[in-house]
Structure 1
Amino acid sequence: MVSVPRWWLARSRAERFDISLRWPLYGICCAEIPIAALAIFSERQHRVLGVVVFLLVVVAHTAANLYLLRESLGRYLHGKQVSSRALIGPIALAVAGVPAAALAFPRFAWIGDSDLRDGVILVLAGGLTFALTPMLRWMSLFGVMLAGSVLTAALAVRVEPGFAYLSTVAFIAFTCRISAWTLGLGWEIDRSRAVSAQLAIAEERLRFARDLHDTLGHNLSLVAVRSELAAALATRGDATAADQMLDVRQIAHDSLREMRAVVSGYRATDLATELAGAQSVLRSAGVNCRIIGDGSALTPASQTALGWVVREGTTNVIQHSDATVCKIELDLSPELTILRMENDGVRTASSSAASSSAVDSSTTATARSTGGGSSGTGIAGLRERLGSLGGTLTVGSTPGRFILVVQLPAST
C-alpha cells in the first residue's frame, strides 16, 4: 500500500485541489531553464562568457515569472493588488534575454531568417505572457500576444514566424487561463460547501428555538400577568391573591413539563430518521452519503443508541473533516449489531485528536450547563451510553480514511 504523506493529509480538500493545479503551472513556468540548456547544447558555436550571462538572465527571468504568476493568481482568485515590482522585473529580464542570447551564440541574427532568435523570443516572451495571463483581460491578453507576433514577423521579415508565435503563445496562455478558472471554481465550491453546512446547522438551531418559543412564550406571558394580578390583590389585602399565586405555580409546573417534553423530543433519536437526516445534511454539505442496511428490526434502545452515534458522526464529518464520500453501513446478525461509519476526509492524527477533544469538551460543557451530566453527545458520552447497553465504540484511521465502528449485542 502506498503511504500518503502527512503534509498532504493535513491539507483541506480545497488546498489539495489548489496544489494539484497550481504547482503544474509553476512547473510550466520553469520550462525556460531546460529549454535554454537544450539550446546551448544544440549549438556547436557559443561564447562561454555569453552563455554564462544568458543562463543567469534566464534563471532570473524564471524566478521573476514565478513570483509574477503567484501574484497574478492571487489577483484572479482573491482580488489582491499586484505591485509594480512584480511587473518590472520579468519585463526587463525578458528584454535583456535577447541581447544576452546574441552575446552567447555567434549564429544569432537580429534581422532576417534566424530560428535561434525566433526561439529565444518565443521562450522569453511566452514565459512572460504565461505569468501575466491570470491578471489580464482577454482583450489585453490578445493585444500582448499580437504585439509579440508582429515583432517576431518584423525581425524575420516574414509573416510565418509571427503566426507561429501567435498560435504557440495563444495555446500556452489559454492553458494557463483555463487552469486559473478551474482553480477559482474549486475554491468557490469549497466556500459553497462550508456555507451549506453552516446553513444546515443554523436551520436546526432555528427549529429548536421556534419550538421552545411556541411552548414557553404563552405560558411565561400568562405567569407575568397572573403575578401582577396577585401583587395588586395582595396590596389591597384581597384573600384571592393566594389563589392567583397557586395558579402561577401550576402554570410554572406545566411550563416545566412542556419544556422537558420539547427537549426530550429534540434529544430523542430514531435510527431511520437519523439516517435520513444524516444523508440529507451531508449531501447539502457536498458529501456523497451512502447508507447500507436497515435497522427497523432493532429494539428501541438499540435504535436510540445508534441514532445518537449517527448524529454525532455526521456532525464530526461536517465540522472536522474534508470528506467527499461517507458510507454508513449497518450489519445485523443474531448475536451482534455492527454500525460502521467511514469517510475519506481524515486529516493528520494530531488534528483529528484535537478535533475530537474539542468536540468532547464542547459537549461536556453543554451537558453540564443543561444539567445533562455525562449524557453528552461527544465520543466519550457515546461510549458511556453504549457501555450501559453492553456495546463498544472504536475509532481509527487509515491513510486518507476515518472509520467509526459500534458493536452492540443483538439482545439489547
Structure 2
Amino acid sequence: MAGRWWRGSWSGRDQVERVDLYTRQSLYAIAAAMNGLVLFSAAAVAPEHPVAYVALLVGGVALTVTSAWALRDAIRLYPHPGPIPRRSTLTLAGLALVAVPAAAALPGELPAAAGLVVAFSLAWGLGGYCDQRVAAATVVAVGLASWLPAREAGPAAYGLLAGAFFMVTARLSLWLLDIVVELDRGRDAEAALAVAEERLRFSRDVHDVLGRRLSTIAVQAELAATLAARGDDRAADRMLEVRSLAHDGLREARELARGYRAVDLDQELHGAVSLLRSAGIEATSAVDDLPADWHEPAAWVVREAVTNVLRHSRATRVELSYADGSLTVRNDGALLETGGDGSGGTGLAGVRARLASLGAGLETSRDADTFTVRMVLP
C-alpha cells in the first residue's frame, strides 16, 4: 500500500516537482526522526517514571507536529523574508515557552531530553526563514531551550550545535530547491524567447517576400494599365508577367512556411535590376567581388533597399556596388525617403538586427538627393 502511494505521488510529476517533493519530505522526515531518536533514547527511564515519560512523549509529538506546520510555512515563504506567518510561528513559540519550564520539572534525566526536543523543534520549524532577525532569535531560543531544563553544559552545547546545524541544513535545502525552480523558469523563458525570435524571423521573411513581390506586381500592373490606356499590345504581356510574379510570390510563401526557403544573391540582383528598369529607373550592378559567405545577407540588403526605392522615393538611378568590405545601394531619390532622415523604415531596421547577429553592420545616410544603404562586413 505504501509503495503504491509513493509511486502514485512520484509519477506524473516533472523534475522540478519531484525535487520539491523530495526536499519537503526529506525535511519533514529528518525533523521527525531527530525528535523521535531523542524520545526513544529517553525510553530507558520510562519504567522508573512512566507518567513523566508519557508526558514527554505527548509534548514531543505536539512540538514535532507544530514544527512541521511552521516548516511548511517557511517552505512556502522562501526565498522572501516576510511577512512571517504568525499562526504557526506563534503557536510553536508558545508551546516552547510552556515546554521549557515543564521540562525542568521532569524527574531524572528527562529534562535534558525534553530540552533537546524543544530545541530541535525550534531549529527545524523556524530555521528555514530568510529573515535574519528570526534566525538570530531562533539561535538564542535553541540555546536556551537546550540549557534551561537541565542546566547542564553537555546537553546545552550539543543542543545548540545540533540546532544550528539543522537550521543551516533547512536553509541550504530550500536554497537548492529555489535554484532548481529558478533554472526551470529560466528554461521556460528561454523557450518562450526562442519562439518569439522565430516568430520575428518569420515575420521579417514574410515582409521580405511579400513586400518585394507586391511592389513588383504594383509596378508591373501600373505599367500594364498605362500601356492599355494607350492601346499598346504589350499590356497583355505585362499582365501575364504580373500573373507569373503572383505565382512566384505564392511559391516563395509556401517555401517560407515549410522553412527551407533560401535567398540567392544572383537572383536578387537580376530581379532588382529588371524591376528597377521596368519602373523606368536606371540600374547598375557590380558586386562580383563580394565574398561567397556573405551572399545571402547581401541579398537581404538588396531586396529591402530596392523595395524602399520603389515604395518611398522618386529615384531615377540606382547603383549596387561592392568595394572595400562594403555593399552599397545608392539612389538619387532621397527627398521622399521615409522619415527624411535616412531611417529607411522598419524593414531596414529588421535587416540591421539580422546582420548584427552575424557581426555585420548596416548604415544609412542622406546627402542632398542621394540616399545610401551600406552593409559593412566585419
Deviations 1:219-242 (A, max 9, x none): 1234346557777x59x9554695
Relative to structure 1, is the Cα distance of residues 164 and 36 closer, same or farther in structure 2, using a 3 angstrom cutoff? closer
Q: Tell me if 1:106 matches 2:107.
A: yes
Q: Tell me if 1:254 matches 2:235.
A: no
Q: Tell me if 1:46 matches 2:49.
A: yes
SS in structure 2 of the partner of residue 135 of structure 1: coil
Relative to structure 1, is the Cα distance of residues 183 and 102 closer, same or farther in structure 2, using a 3 angstrom cutoff? same
Question: 2:161 maps to what in 1?
Answer: 167
**Inter-partner Cα distance in structure 2 for 1:118 and 1:157:** 8
Relative to structure 1, is the Cα distance of residues 150 and 7 closer, same or farther in structure 2, using a 3 angstrom cutoff? closer
Deviations 1:105-144 (A, max 9, x none): 433xxxxxxx532331222122122121111345642442
SS in structure 1 of the partner of residue 128 of structure 2: helix
> How far is 1:254 from its partner?
2.4
Question: 1:56 maps to what in 2?
Answer: 58
SS in structure 2 of the partner of residue 106 of structure 1: coil
**Inter-partner Cα distance in structure 2 for 1:250 and 1:206:** 28
Question: 1:145 maps to what in 2?
Answer: 139
Deviations 1:340-392 (A, max 9, x none): xxxxxxxxxxxxxxxxxxxxxxxxxxxxxxxxxxxxxxxxxxxxxxxxxxxxx
Count of aligned pairs: 256
Task: Pick one of 16, 19, 33 that aligns with 2:18.
Answer: 16
**Inter-partner Cα distance in structure 2 for 1:99 and 1:263:** 77
**Inter-partner Cα distance in structure 2 for 1:176 and 1:216:** 59
**Inter-partner Cα distance in structure 2 for 1:197 and 1:38:** 53
> How far is 1:85 from its partner?
0.9
C-alpha contact 1:152 1:162 (8 A) present in aligned 2: yes
Task: Pick one of 205, 209, 217 that aligns with 1:215.
Answer: 209
Question: 1:179 maps to what in 2?
Answer: 173
Question: 2:281 maps to what in 1?
Answer: none
Q: Quick check: which has more Rg, 1 or 2?
A: 2
**Inter-partner Cα distance in structure 2 for 1:19 and 1:265:** 42
The unaligned stretches of length 5 or more in structure 1 are 108-114, 269-412
Q: Tell me if 1:206 matches 2:209.
A: no
Deviations 1:234-273 (A, max 9, x none): 9x955469556555333312212322343455399xxxxx
C-alpha contact 1:58 1:97 (8 A) present in aligned 2: no
**Inter-partner Cα distance in structure 1 for 2:161 and 2:10:** 37
Q: Which amino acid aligns with 2:193?
A: L
SS in structure 1 of the partner of residue 13 of structure 2: coil
Relative contact order, higher structure (CA 8 A, sep 6+): 1
Question: 1:125 maps to what in 2?
Answer: 119
Q: Which amino acid aligns with 2:39?
A: A
State the TM-score, normalizing by the size of structure 1.
0.52
State the TM-score, normalizing by the size of structure 2.
0.56
Relative to structure 1, is the Cα distance of residues 215 and 63 closer, same or farther in structure 2, using a 3 angstrom cutoff? same
Q: Which amino acid aligns with 1:36?
A: L
Q: Which amino acid aligns with 2:215?
A: S
Question: 1:188 maps to what in 2?
Answer: 182
Relative to structure 1, is the Cα distance of residues 157 and 88 closer, same or farther in structure 2, using a 3 angstrom cutoff? closer
Percent of aligned pairs sharing the same letter: 36
Relative to structure 1, is the Cα distance of residues 169 and 11 closer, same or farther in structure 2, using a 3 angstrom cutoff? same
CA RMSD of aligned residues (A): 3.7
Q: Which amino acid aligns with 2:21?
A: I
> How far is 1:23 from its partner?
0.8
Relative to structure 1, is the Cα distance of residues 186 and 76 closer, same or farther in structure 2, using a 3 angstrom cutoff? same
The unaligned stretches of length 5 or more in structure 2 are 263-378
